[in-house]
Amino acid sequence: MLTVRDAEARAAALIEAARKAGADAADVVYSGDSSTGVQVRLGELEDVVRSEGEEIGLRFFLGRRSATVSSSDLSAEAIEALVERAAAMAREAPEDPYSGLAPEDRLLKGEPVDIDGDDGADPSPAEIKVRALEIEDSARSVPGVTNSEGAGASSGRGIMVLATSHGFCRGYSTSGYSASASVIAGTGSDMQRDYAHHSVRHHRDLDPPEAIGQLAGERAVARLNPGKLSSGRMSVVFDPRVGGSLVGHLVGAITGPSITRRTSFLLGREDEELFGPSVTVRDDPHRRRGLASKPFDAEGLPTAPSDIVAGGRITRWLLDSASARQLGLEPTGHAVRSAAGAPGAGATNLHIEPGPLSPAELIADIGLGLYVTELIGQGVNPVTGDYSRGASGFIIENGAIGAPVAEITIAGNLIDMFRELSPASDLEHRRSVNVPTLRIEGMTVAGA
């Protein structure tokens, strides 16, 4: 894997080669990553994986015609062939009136924001193994845990570089560390599985091994002997580790390609108060050590924190340059892409701002409801917003979380669900999408 400086030089040279081959404009994306992972099970080493990879992609423009070609071979011969192939493909491509680089005057100027995404640490495989063993030992020590699917820990580093024929050429590196455990509680036909996981940018920010293991074990034991829940319309409360998926559905509906293709359930609802007036959804690409932080987007535009929902209303679509041109709007600094494709649009570190009530206060008035800790299936229609997913979790009775329940389906429509959403006060930034405990009124629950 190249260093950031070497990757910038390689990308700039590829831009120059594309220009010499007749490109009217071009951009290059380099991505590289390396990682070491250790998996253990029942106290024994099960697997050690070391991987390294890199890819470089060239987008070659001839007027409004373009082609994107990528290669994992960075030799001089491969790069020469890459340019020739891109030029030949671009000559045969159809014209696209909306394609092109990002506006030159919108590109990042000056020093980028420091996202503090790389701590420079490089733990040895032996250290990683010790962490994984400690995690599993902790999980297996929880009374009621009877088996293990394993525990793992990993360390890695990634590099991203973007160069364009407008003269932009920048890159940055990120480190990443993760740890997890998955265990089984119970015996015979009454066995339940659950897990715990933590990912961070800085090694010292990882939860202690014993905390991860204990949480996985306690979660599995808590699910033993699940009962049934009567069907009906009731309040559904989403645990923070699953509630973020609701934000994911929102983001999918407000990205440029969904709007230009008219495949979003939010079309025509730009001026509606979709959430309660106190609900704010914030996108923060500058969060230090954030899992999705970045100083510039995949087209070279500067990123900036913004509220994508404020006062309960959507404030903007998330646009790359092509979708912005098609809609007659300006790009928003949300372009995303891989080396092998053209840009699309997406968010970075997202969160729902916390509300005033603690989780206990949020559920205190629920006579009968459901607390969801796991969602199953992909039953969400992005065009209509219809929502139907399998779920398991715990019954809520008389304002308190009670016995575990399983084999449940929850259903509704995302428009109605957003309108009835209330956040608790327990927001923690542990993922790229973070939410507090969320309550949604009047969902349809199909149980026993």
447 falls in which pLDDT band (50, 70, 90)?
A: confident
Residue 258 is assigned to a structural domain of this protein? no
Please list, in sequence order, all residues whose beta carbon lies within 8 angstroms of the beta carbon of residue 420, skipping any fewer than 6 positions away: 440, 441, 442
CA gap 318, 250 in Å, rounded: 11
pLDDT of residue 271: 85
Q: Name the DSSP letter for residue 223.
A: T
Asked if pLDDT for residue 41 goes beyond 80, the answer is: yes
Q: What is the pLDDT of residues 256-309, one digit of tens each?
A: 999 999 999 999 998 899 999 999 999 999 999 999 999 999 999 999 999 999
CATH number of the domain at 74, please: 3.30.2290.10
Identify whether residues 102 and 8 lie together within a single domain. yes
Per DSSP, the three-state class of 207 is coil
Which of 187, 205, 221 is the C-terminal boundary of a domain? Answer: 221
Task: Tell me how far apart the alpha carbons of residues 358 and 437 are, in angstroms, rounded to a whole number.
Answer: 9
The mean per-residue pLDDT over the stretch 14-19 comes to: 96
pLDDT given for residue 448 in this prediction: 65
Residue 353 DSSP symbol: P
Per-residue pLDDT tens over the stretch 113-159: 999 999 999 999 999 999 999 999 999 999 999 999 999 999 999 99
> Could you tell me if 68 and 129 lie in one domain?
yes
Q: State the Cα–Cα distance between residues 51 and 33, nearest whole angstrom.
A: 8
Judge if pTM exceeds 0.85. yes
- Is residue 251 domain-resident? no
Pair (100, 88) in one structural domain? yes
Range of the domain at 309: 266-352
